[in-house]
Structure formats: structure tokens, C-alpha cells
Structure 1
């Protein structure tokens, strides 16, 4: 199958973990199919290159732009897609993120006569004005999302939470083209330690950028209500000074360790030493950190967003008391058996191969439907 993938950013080489899950997806698809990737914004070059037998053709659009500058970048991307289609026609075109990538994919689909698949991958369906997050906040971005979703042959959402959110916003007839395909984790990289112990040294772990949508303020208030509980935070971002100051205000500075940014290949060591991952986000389209933790044998506790309700114990967004009750009430017996169950769930549902196979089914369905 000739597959085109349109994405905001993609790895500049095999060691660049720009968006790890999509690098892994391309690697898996390219084993048996011809894959061409079109990154719009990153890397900042227009020179083609190859990764895992996939041809990458960047537009080099740079950071997000508005108005005429944005449309020039998108038109340049469309022209690049058309030129590639003339060389080797695409069977299907897949846009990751239902915004400008989805719009360009649908332009290409209409012009070239090929089916399109658009994946919901981030904040397309939400808007939080208080923290300036989500594409529903702006008139133009809201319109881009609408066009991306309304023009696709198939729409993909990665979890029940995102499926329900999409169904709530789409016309009933568009709900018929919506499919759920979970993201997948690299189960060879993220795995339990070679020798598992009954007791893991890190009690609670949090992995994520220090930004408002992740709501680490709620996380720290939760730790403050759990006497003697310790927390390791992996990630960096603009809220670090505020969050570090808050640990002192709450009297938990001696129980919270900020590790800063950690490279992707070093993350497994943190998960392998953790008993539980804590996530208190206000929104997640999916939450790869939860899958990475599960694959390494760590349990997941958090807010009822993204994939968390399907794989962990959850409470309503911002509900510190309910989260506290979950933490206190969690089982402390049969730790190794629980970790084996976490791992089994990943191996049977959430691997990279599961993700690729699920998308291939959607591609084939889109092609079949398009030909009718």
C-alpha cells in the first residue's frame, strides 16, 4: 500500500525522538508498505531524507504562523504532495492532528481522488480560555478543526474519551466514519526491570511537560494531603519556578524531586523504579506516559481524561479528595501479580503493532468505501 502521512513535526533522524509514537508507527508501517511522511513545521529543512525505509519530505514551515504566511506553507505542502502523487500515486493519505494537517490532507484527497484519514491527536476538540489551551478557543483554529473532520473519509480517535468528545461535536452522520485506534508503546524499550522486586524505590512518579494543561498544581496539592508520600517529577517547562515554589508553600519540598527533562531512551529506568504514575491533567487526547508506565509494570492513577479511565484508577478533573481516596484505598498486596497484569494489558492491546494493524484496517476500509 502507498501511504502518505501528513504531520506537524517528525523526527529529523532515527535518534530524534520528536514525537516517539509516530516515529514508531512509521517504522512499523514501513516494514511492509511504502510510506512517505510530510512534516509541515519540523524539521526546519526542505531537504528530503529517509528513516526506516520511509521517505520524509519536509515543508520546513517552522513555527506556527497566521494569515497569508500560514496559507503559503499549506499550499507549498499541497504542491509537494501532488508532485509525489504524480511519481507514485497514493492509496490513502493520513493526517495526524485534525487541524491544518487534516485540512491539507483533505485538499489533497479531493484534488487527487484518494481517501483521507484524519486522527485526533491533541487539543483539537477542547478550549480552555483560562490557560489559552485548545483549538476551540480561536475562530480560525476552530474552523480548521471543523474542515479537517468534516472532509475526511475516516476519522480516528485513540481512546473512548476522545471518541465520546468527537461524537458530541460531530453531526450524527459523521459519527458513522469515526473509528477508535489506540496508540501503541514500544514494548521492547518500555518493559519491566530484568529483576523485579516486591518493593520499588519510587513511590509516585509524574512524567510530563510542566505546563498548565497538565495541572501539576493539583498534583502537588494531592501529595500535600498524603503524609510521607514522595513524588518524582520528570519533565521541564515554563511552570517549573511556580511549581517549585509551591512545594515550599505546601511544606512538601523535602518529598518532591524535580528531575527536569529526561531523554526518551532513559525514561524506562524511572518507570521501572516506580510503583504508580500520577497524572492530574485537565485534558489528554490519549496520554502516552500512562502506557509507558503500564508497560514497565507501574500502576496508573489520575484524572478521567485520555486513556486513563481504560487502564487505571481515575477521579474527576481537579478533585483532590477523590484522588486522595483512590491512593489511600489502592491495594498493597500481590504487587508482582499486579505488575504482570499491567504488562499483559499492554502486550495484548497497546503495542506499536496493534496501533499499526488498527490503522491499516481503517486505511483499507477508507479505500473500499471511497471506491463505492
Structure 2
């Protein structure tokens, strides 16, 4: 098949920085068996083309000083030109997230008579007014998302949690997690006994991830366990606010902020952690939970994204914005090794079952279906 994947970004030519690992895993597997063109809406400011994991990536770039409508038309024109320049007709366009990547795909698909698949992967179907996050906070956002989902030939979500609001708009929506390369992370669920205890959190520092609640939970954990550390890995988008809060809470030596690290540098953290922690207000899926699971690390986290369905057999779920419940869950698993290892094994089994190979095979089946094959 000839497949075009349309993404906002996350496909840096380095393959290490500014990437979305689950997307790279999918690209690599599809490119082994198909002709794959990846269209990045705005990973780079300028138009650029390069090879990545057996696929060709075309970055559309932008027009300096142009408004949104002109930018969109400019990118649509470039997208259609890129599709036409890569030979005969494509069999499917697959847009990730229901933003500009999806609207461009719907338009190009209509003009070129190519079926379109849309996978939601963010806050398209939610609105969190306290932090002004999500695609449902304005009528243009609601209308755009509804039109995209209605006009796509197939739509999918990466968790039952994200599928629930999607089903209300498309009754035929698919549950299809974006799996990780489980072999890359593989490790035994049994860890060296603590203390010292090593906890891990991998995510950009932003208000949706609610790391403030995570730090308040760590203050409570620290009161119950002296020898515990939390490694936080991810780009800081809040200008050092979280680091200052850690100091205010007396966690300056307990919480270690590492900033961004490429995936190969994160893997050793997964393999030595006793627990993975999630504090998000919303997750469409949470790929880092699957990465931790593949390494045999159980998660204590808020009941959003995959955690909502992995719990109670393969994760320990707690309510959002509840540091006390999060701390209680952490302390429970730290002091009950048998339960911690059992959850780690179940999580690992989940990650191995719904891995990147399965994701690629499932999407191939979807592509064939929308083509009437």
C-alpha cells in the first residue's frame, strides 16, 4: 500500500530529539512493508524533505506573517503537491490528532479521492476550564472537531477513556492503542529491594500533567519514607515554576529534574525504577505508561488515559487532583512488594500484547477496510 501519515510534528530528522516515540515505532514498521510518506505540518519552519526509518518525511513549513486561513491554504497546496510528487495515487491518508493535520487531510482526501483515517491523541474532545485546555472550549473548536470526525472514513482513539466521548460523535470509532517497541524497554518486574526507592515521571512539565499535585503527593510520601527519590524527565514549559515549588515543599534533594532526554537515555531510568507515577488531569492514552509497563514497572496514577482501563489488574488508579490518594497508592506499593511485582508483570503483559507490531497490523487492517479491500 501507499500510505501517507499526516502529523503536527514529532518526526525530527535526528530520530532522537523532538520526536514522538510511538509514532516513530509505527512509521518504522509500516515502512518495512509499504511505501510511506510522512507529512509534518510544522515540525520545522521551512519546507524540508528527508529520509527517516525507511519513510520519506516532508515538512510543509509556514508563510511568514500570514494569518491562519492563508497558512492553512498554503499548507494544503504544499501537501497536495507533495502527495502528487511521490508517484501514483495514495491508498490512504492517516491524520494524527484532530487539529490542522486532520483538516488538511480531509481536504486533500476529498480533492484527490483518497480515504482518510483520523486518530485522536490529545484534548480534542475535552475542555478543562481551570487551565483553558482542550478543543471543546469554543464553538469554532467544537465545530471543527465534529466536522473532521464526521467526514473521516475511520476514526480511532488510543484508550477506552478517550474512546468514550468519541463514540458519542462516531458510533463506529475504534479502540486502538499506539503501542511501544516493548523489546526496547524490556526488563524484569523484580527490582532491587528498597529502600532506597526510585520513582519515575516522564512528561513535559505543563499544567495538563498537573505535576504540582505530584509534588504535593511526594511531600506526603517523603514524610512516610526517608530514602526515596523521584526522577522527573521532560521539557519544562512553565519557566521553573515546578522546581521552585519543589524547594518550597522541602523536596530539593528528593526530586531531581533532568529536563528533556532522548529515549535511549530514558530507558535506563525505566529499568531501575520501582514505580512510575502519573498525575495528569487528562490523557488521551499516555505512551509513557506503556513504556514503563514494557519495562515491568507498575504505575500509580490518575484514572485517565490507559490507566483507567489497566487498573486494577495492571495499575493502581487514583482520582485527579488528589495528592493524598496518590501518596497513599505510592506508599502502599512501596511497602507491599508482592503486589508491586504482580502489577508490574500484568502491566508488562499488557504492553507486550498491545505493542507497536500489533498497532501497525491493526492500522493496516483499517487501511484495507477503508479502501474496500
- State the TM-score, normalizing by the size of structure 2: 0.88
Larger mean Cα displacement after TM superposition, 4-13 or 132-141? 132-141
Q: What's the offset of the Cα at 1:198? A: 4.3
Give the conservation status (yes or no) of the 8 Å contact 1:11–1:43: no
Give the conservation status (yes or no) of the 8 Å contact 2:94–2:118: yes
Structure 2 alignment gaps of length 5 or more: none
Q: What's the offset of the Cα at 1:100? A: 1.5
Mapped partners of 1:239, 1:40: distance in 2: 25
- Structure 2 counterpart of 1:361: 365
* Alignment partner of 1:203 is 2:198: yes
Give the conservation status (yes or no) of the 8 Å contact 1:93–1:109: yes
Larger mean Cα displacement after TM superposition, 62-71 or 245-254? 62-71
Q: What's the offset of the Cα at 1:62? A: 7.9
- Structure 2 counterpart of 1:118: 118
What does 1:320-335 correspond to in 2, within 5 Å? 320-330=323-333, 331-333=336-338
Q: What's the offset of the Cα at 1:81? A: 4.8
- Structure 2 counterpart of 1:352: 356
Q: Secondary structure at the match of 2:205?
A: coil
Distance 1:136 1:55, change over 3 A: same
Larger mean Cα displacement after TM superposition, 44-53 or 210-219? 44-53
Q: What's the offset of the Cα at 1:245? A: 2.1
Give the conservation status (yes or no) of the 8 Å contact 1:201–1:274: no
- Structure 2 counterpart of 1:180: 175
Aligned length, in residue pairs = 362
Mapped partners of 1:109, 1:154: distance in 2: 13
Larger mean Cα displacement after TM superposition, 66-75 or 19-28? 66-75
Mapped partners of 2:343, 2:124: distance in 1: 35
Mapped partners of 1:97, 1:239: distance in 2: 23
Give the conservation status (yes or no) of the 8 Å contact 1:41–1:62: no
- Structure 1 counterpart of 2:259: 260
Q: What's the offset of the Cα at 1:35? A: 0.9
- Structure 2 counterpart of 1:19: 20
Deviant stretches of 4+, over 4 Å: 62-66, 193-196, 198-202, 334-338
Q: What's the offset of the Cα at 1:48? A: 2.4
Give the conservation status (yes or no) of the 8 Å contact 1:41–1:63: no
Give the conservation status (yes or no) of the 8 Å contact 1:224–1:250: yes
CA deviation profile, 1:75-133 (whole Å, cap 9, x unmatched):
22443255247x31111111111121111111122222221100101121122233232
- Structure 1 counterpart of 2:187: 192
- Structure 2 counterpart of 1:91: 91
Give the conservation status (yes or no) of the 8 Å contact 1:133–1:213: yes
Give the conservation status (yes or no) of the 8 Å contact 2:189–2:295: no
Give the conservation status (yes or no) of the 8 Å contact 1:36–1:57: yes
Mapped partners of 1:195, 1:299: distance in 2: 11
Give the conservation status (yes or no) of the 8 Å contact 1:190–1:268: yes
- Structure 2 counterpart of 1:313: 316
Q: What's the offset of the Cα at 1:236? A: 3.0
* Alignment partner of 1:223 is 2:218: yes
Q: What's the offset of the Cα at 1:337? A: 5.5
Structure 1 alignment gaps of length 5 or more: none
Mapped partners of 2:280, 2:63: distance in 1: 28
Q: What's the offset of the Cα at 1:324? A: 3.0
What does 1:88-167 correspond to in 2, within 5 Å? 88-167=88-167
Distance 1:63 1:223, change over 3 A: farther
Mapped partners of 1:148, 1:24: distance in 2: 25
Mapped partners of 1:193, 1:63: distance in 2: 51
